[in-house]
Amino acid sequence: MKEFASIPSKSCAGSCRGCGKAHIKVYSYRDQQSQELHDRLNEALIAFPMAHKLIDVFEPGTIAGDGITSLPALVLDGVLVSEGQVPSVDELVQLFRNRYLLKSKLNRLKHIIVPVDMSTVSANALLFAWQIAKKTDAHLEVIFAMDSIFEGSKPSASGFLSGYNKTMQSELDTFIQQTMASDVVAYAPTTPQPGAPGQTTEIKGPYVSSKVIYGFPDTAIQTYSERCDLIVMGTTGGGTVTHKLFGSVSMEVSKNALAPVLFIPPGLTYTGFPNMLYASNFESLDALQIQQAVSFARRFDSQIHFVHIGPPDEKGLAMERKLFEANYQESMPEKPFIFTKMVSEDIVDPLYEYAFYHRIGLLVFVTHHRSFWENFLHKSITREVLSSSSLPVLVIHSDSDMI
Residue 139 is assigned to a structural domain of this protein = yes
210 and 169 Cβ atoms separated by less than 8 Å = yes
- Tell me: do 7 and 64 sit in the same domain: yes
pLDDT of residue 236: 65
pLDDT tens for each residue of 288-322: 777 788 888 889 999 999 887 777 777 766 766 77
- Tell me: do 387 and 290 sit in the same domain: yes
pLDDT of residue 232: 94
Query: 210 - beta bridge partners?
Result: 142, 198
Residue 155 is assigned to a structural domain of this protein = yes
Residue 332 to residues 2, 294, 329, Cα–Cα distance (Å)? 34, 8, 5
Query: 276 - beta bridge partners?
Result: 304, 362
Boundary of a domain, candidates 205, 233, 261: 233
The CATH number that applies at residue 37 is: 3.40.30.10
pLDDT of residue 403: 64
Boundary of a domain, candidates 83, 99, 115: 99
Give me the long-range contacts of 91-97 (CB less than 8 A, separation at least 24). 92/40, 92/41, 92/43, 92/44, 93/44, 93/47, 93/48, 94/332, 96/22, 96/44, 96/45, 96/48, 96/50, 97/48, 97/330, 97/332
- Tell me the residue range of the domain where 52 lies: 2-99
Global pTM reads 0.72
Residue 343 is assigned to a structural domain of this protein = yes
- Tell me: do 228 and 135 sit in the same domain: yes
Residue 338 is assigned to a structural domain of this protein = yes
The CATH number that applies at residue 136 is: 3.40.50.620
- Tell me: do 131 and 223 sit in the same domain: yes
CA dihedral angle for residue 192, residue 128, residue 395, residue 259, rounded to 10 degrees:
20
pLDDT of residue 113: 95
- Tell me: do 79 and 119 sit in the same domain: no
- Tell me: do 285 and 389 sit in the same domain: yes
- Tell me: do 111 and 94 sit in the same domain: no
pLDDT of residue 98: 76
pLDDT of residue 376: 54
- Tell me: do 210 and 159 sit in the same domain: yes
Instruction: Give me the residues of the chain with pLDDT under 50, please.
Output: 1-19, 150-157, 191-197, 199-202, 237-246, 370, 373, 377-386
Which H helix or E strand runs over 179?
Answer: helix 159-181
Number of domains in the chain: 3
pLDDT of residue 237: 42
Residue 392 is assigned to a structural domain of this protein = yes
pLDDT of residue 107: 83
Query: 23 - beta bridge partners?
Result: 53
Boundary of a domain, candidates 233, 260, 287: 233
- Tell me: do 174 and 209 sit in the same domain: yes
Residue 378 is assigned to a structural domain of this protein = yes
- Tell me: do 163 and 88 sit in the same domain: no
Residue 255 is assigned to a structural domain of this protein = no
Residue 179 is assigned to a structural domain of this protein = yes
- Tell me: do 95 and 186 sit in the same domain: no
